[in-house]
Amino acid sequence: MQPETGPLHGYTVIELSTGIAGAYCTKLLADGGAQVIKVESPQGDPLRSWSASGARIESDSDGALFGFLACSKHSVVADPAFDGDVKLVNDLLAEADAVVWSRGSPVANCDAFTPNALRHSHPHLIVTSITPFGLEGPWRDRPATEFTLQAWSGGIIGLGRGSPDRAPVFVGGQVGEYLAGAYASAALLASRLRGGGELLDLSMLEVQILGLTYFPVTYFQMLRRPWRDARKVTVPGIAKAKDGLVDVGCGTAQQWFDLCAMTGHQDWIDEDSPLSITEQANEKAEEIYAWVRSQTVAEIRDVATAFRIPNAPVANGANIANLDHFQERRSFVANPRDGFQQPGHPYRMQPRLLRPPQAAPRLGEHTAHYRQARRPAQQPTKPDSVADGLPFKGLRVLDMTTFWAGPSCTHFLGMLGAEVIHVESTRKPDGTG
């Protein structure tokens, strides 16, 4: 069994989900020390046989993505066609603190284990449902994919990037799935603070509206139109240098002025220009790309860093784990079962409280253990107490961040009741660069 470590040690979560969102939610909880029991059908989670390259996964092996997301979990096989297996799952639920559910597996699709059924039969549980559109509403049963959800959310257009004469390109990497998993884990932990015994209905579409678009309500209210309704190429963005690809970002007025100076074109600087930064850069794209082509990646990065212009090498699967920053922070670790390189914890704690990743389970590896475990008879009961009001009421947070990541975090805390005080510079208010 796994070592006793982490702030969530002693907290038990049943995973009745398939796909990345539910798996990433419970992985974050397992990293924190929770005992996650993944209940699978006899066929196993489809992610076990999925490969990004399309390579065939042998029947006695698992795909790398599953091996990463299932680290530190247990696997129990149950067939809802058999009463004994339904009882086994109910016994696990009776002793658990929370359950993460999504449609897709025969177990999750069983009438006994829908979110509303779980709330009725196990009222002590935090039931976290992850679906494309939520459990209620006219779209609740519509099929959806990451691609269609990004289109519905407006994120494909709202980011405003891409060639205007071509169809929109969606944001890669299944980013919406990971966003949903992160929000689900945060919501589950917030419910834990209230005492549990709640149904959390997470809509992946609504998560993408928060995470992939600029807040449209504000711009409709102020401008009576969307802020961005067309796409423009980011210049220079990812461009071809003398010896490879380099990424140079230009998102503020100051960065544009510095880019002009860096490329030897101080004459381009016009503080009174009616054009946006993106429009000005697009006008000068040919000259900017010519300058990039005349330099090496290292030369561009050195001078851009000196000008405090965001820049990066273009990483790929062959070189990313060898970049000096990632090596010093140990951002990649060896998968404990199969040995491939996988991302480490996405955050650090001091002192170190997160559990090191343990080997992902083989299909049904822990079924016998939980069948044999003796369980006292337990009647479903409601929590002794559920706190009134929002979970972070009384928490005061000083927000000294700018732009997206920090304010997105404190926005979520504010919605959950925290008093958030956003401190801004008098010279450069947030978002002005």
Instruction: Kindly list the distances between the CA atom of residue 400 and the CA atoms of 358, 405, 407, 432, in Å, as whole numbers in the listed order.
Output: 36, 11, 9, 15
Q: Which of 94-108, 152-166, 239-253 has the highest mean pLDDT?
A: 94-108
Q: What share of the chain in percent tops pLDDT 90?
A: 72
Burial tier of 404 (Cβ tally within 10 Å: 0-12, 13-18, 19+): exposed
Domain boundaries, the chain: 12-214+358-372, 237-313, 389-433
| pLDDT score, position 163 | 76
Rounded Cα gap, residues 342 and 360, in angstroms: 13
- What does DSSP say about strands 73-77 and 98-101: parallel, antiparallel, or unpaired? unpaired
For residues 127-149, average pLDDT = 96
Q: Which amino acid is at 181?
A: G
The β-bridge relationship of strands 396-399 and 341-343 is unpaired
Residue 74's DSSP bridge partners are 37
Q: Which residues pair with 313 in a beta bridge?
A: 246
Q: Which pLDDT score, from 0 to 100, does residue 277 have?
A: 87
Answer whether CATH 3.30.1540.10 is correct for domain 237-313. Answer: yes
Q: What integer pLDDT is reported at residue 104 of this predicted model?
A: 93
Whether 18 and 47 have beta carbons less than 8 Å apart is answered as yes
Tell me the average pLDDT across 333-350: 94
CB–CB of 39/17 below 8 Å? no
CATH topology of domain 12-214+358-372: Rossmann fold (3.40.50)
CA dist., res. 388 & res. 195, Å (int): 10
Q: What is the distance of C-alpha 317 from the center of its chain?
A: 20
pLDDT reported for residue 53:
87
Equal CATH topology for 12-214+358-372 and 237-313: no
For the record, the structure tokens of 25 come out as: 């939610």
Under DSSP, is residue 13 helix (H, G, I), strand (E, B) or coil?
Answer: strand
Which residue from 26, 33, 29 is spatially nearest to 7, judged by alpha carbons?
33
Beta-carbon contacts of residue 152 (< 8 Å; ≥ 6 apart): 144, 205, 208
- Predicted pLDDT at 342: 96
**How far apart are the C-alpha atoms of 428 and 433, rounded to whole Å?**
6
Residue type, 33: G
Average of per-residue pLDDT across 333-354:
93
> How confident is the model at residue 123, as a pLDDT?
96
Residue 338 scores a pLDDT above 80: yes
pLDDT over threshold 50, residue 423: yes
Q: What is the pLDDT of residues 359-392, one digit of tens each?
A: 999 999 999 999 998 665 555 556 655 567 899 9
Q: Is a pLDDT exceeding 90 seen at residue 431?
A: no
Using 50, 70 and 90 to split pLDDT, how confident is the model at 308?
very high
**Binning pLDDT at 50, 70 and 90, where does residue 38 land?**
very high
- The model's pLDDT over 316-329, given as tens digits with 9 standing for 90+, comes to 888 899 999 999 99
E strands in 48-164: 73-77, 98-101, 126-131
Give the model's pLDDT for residue 211: 85
In this structure, of 51-60, 101-110, 122-131, 297-306, the range with the lowest mean pLDDT score is 51-60
DSSP states along 72-88 = TEEEEE--TTSHHHHHH
Q: Is 203 helix (H, G, I), strand (E, B) or coil?
A: strand
pLDDT of residue 32: 96
Beta strands 419-422; 396-399: pairing state = parallel
Single-letter amino acid, residue 57: I
Question: 188 and 98 in contact (C-beta within 8 Å)?
Answer: yes
- Look over the chain and give the mean of its residue pLDDT values, rounded to a whole number: 90
Residue 1's pLDDT band (cuts 50, 70, 90): very low
Residue 3 pLDDT class (50, 70, 90 cuts): low
